[in-house]
Structure 1
Amino acid sequence: METQPNGTKERDMGSEYLEYERRWIFWLLIFVAGWYGAYTSALRSGVFCNVQTANVVFLAMYLARQKWFSTAYLLLPISAYLFGSFLSEWIGKGVKHLHFLRWDTLLVALEMCAVVFLALMPADWPDQICQVTLNFVCAMQFNTYCQIEGLLATTTFVTNHICQIVATLAMLICHPESHDLRRKLKAHVLLFLCFTAGAVVSTVMCGFFSYTSLLSALIPLAAVLICLAWADLLVEHRYFDAVLRGH
């Protein structure tokens, strides 16, 4: 370990990464994100709640048409997303960890609670409750899980992964021998496939179990939570204040 000017310690672990930077953690999280997308699109007003691009477009359209009530409503999911980003940044960078678990681990536990609430929520409750809750959760996840073994990545949508796949393929034409480019391409392709698989499984489950199908998303989330908690408590506890690779 080397002490940095800000008093933190830089990890000295060779080429290894912390558990929450591991590829399989990102695979499971983005699989669940695909699950959310299909779930809300199929059962909750046909809206994709993982990001806010559509909401901002609709907000602009309603403003132009002077539909003030619709405009005011859209401020709710957008504000939830903004607050989720703010909260994850404040806790993740400021608090870092609470006694024995990292924020990254606590976030997965919080997400599981949200999944249980939404899956058991009465069907006649407003769909907006589901939308806003997932806006909040996805914003925190997007802002917390942003690096997969040294590569910038997202766990809530695939637009960036698609762009990175195409861009990396173009670069590989000029540099076919590049190991780093092949590694980058593989990472983004697998994340894209995991998101798609999550959406496929969610669609099938929605057909069989309707609203409660969301409970099945607890299985991959529980796997993530158990492994992250195990790492925090035993394997990586001494690295709580370490500067992560690439950060």
Structure 2
Amino acid sequence: MKQTKQMSETHLLGILLAVVGGFLDAYTYICRGHVFANAQTGNIVLLGVHLTNQNWGKAFYYVLPILAFVLGIFVCEMIQSLFKWKESIHWRQLVVLVELFCLILAGFLPLGKTDTLVNVMVSFVCALQVEAFRKMNGNSYATTMCTGNLRSATENLYRYLKNRDAQCLKNSLQYYNVIVFFIIGAAVGSYLTLHMGANAVWVSCIGLLAVFLAMFHHKQEKTI
């Protein structure tokens, strides 16, 4: 029987992307000015705090990664629209290539004066990732944040305990697994950032390269 499931929706790619997501959050927080470049909720809260205190410079500092995230969503949708029906390369592979380019460039930028620029770039990258990879085995999930995954994991666990639905248990374990690998990515990112500084971001490119190669070699990947 011919396999039709897209490689971009597999559990393997989900955990690879979760590792990258956790790594980048730790990286920007530890060495790029205590900014969570993945999930923008923290930045929005800090923006509100600084606006209340009339600290305009700090407020602007947190506005930039938020705007970069918005731009990333727009760019991802544009890539999908322009390359959705191309047979030579899948549009999600192009998204990963853009991510790789941005992160490689970020690693060359020194700590300190360029932190704001790097946070903007990483926020942009995370927006591309969260927009392009939204399904895992048919279920909605995220690879750059954990709140939604934690909710879905627990919801499916409850349904399994109530109805003994094996699929709900499988879904729950997959969601929890993604969270675990996000934590692993954050731990590895923290350790390497403390020892490698700005260049640590290049290590996260290994995960993205693995994602690109997996999609490239998966012959059953179809455009949607």
TM-score (norm 2): 0.90
Shift of 1:13: 4.8
Shift of 1:94: 5.0
Matching residue of 1:220: 207
Q: Name which of structure 1's ranges 113-122 and 73-82 shifts more when overlaid on structure 2.
A: 73-82
Structure 1 residue runs of 4+, over 6 Å off? none
Matching residue of 2:71: 83
Gaps of 5+ in 1: 1-11
Q: 2:163 aligns with which of 166, 175, 179?
A: 175
CA distance in 2, matches of 1:198, 1:65: 34
SS at match of 1:220: helix
2:160 and 2:166 in contact (8 A); partners too: no
Deviations 1:79-119 (A, max 9, x none): 11111111212322454155621221111111111111111
Matches within 5 A, 1:68-107: 68-93=56-81, 95-98=83-86, 100-107=88-95
2:72 and 2:128 in contact (8 A); partners too: yes
Q: Name which of structure 1's ranges 98-107 and 130-139 shifts more when overlaid on structure 2.
A: 98-107
CA distance in 2, matches of 1:69, 1:207: 27
In the alignment of these two chains, the number of paired residues is 224
SS at match of 1:27: helix
2:61 and 2:116 in contact (8 A); partners too: no
AA of the residue aligned to 1:123: L
Higher helix share: 2
AA of the residue aligned to 1:192: I
Shift of 1:186: 1.3
AA of the residue aligned to 2:74: F
What's the % identity of the aligned pairs? 25
Gaps of 5+ in 2: none
Cα distance, 1:63–1:218 mapped onto 2, change above 3 Å:
closer
AA of the residue aligned to 2:67: S
Shift of 1:123: 2.3
CA distance in 2, matches of 1:146, 1:74: 25
CA RMSD of aligned residues (A): 2.1
Matching residue of 1:35: 23
TM-score (norm 1): 0.82
CA distance in 2, matches of 1:93, 1:153: 22
CA distance in 2, matches of 1:54, 1:202: 19
SS at match of 1:194: helix
Matching residue of 1:197: 184
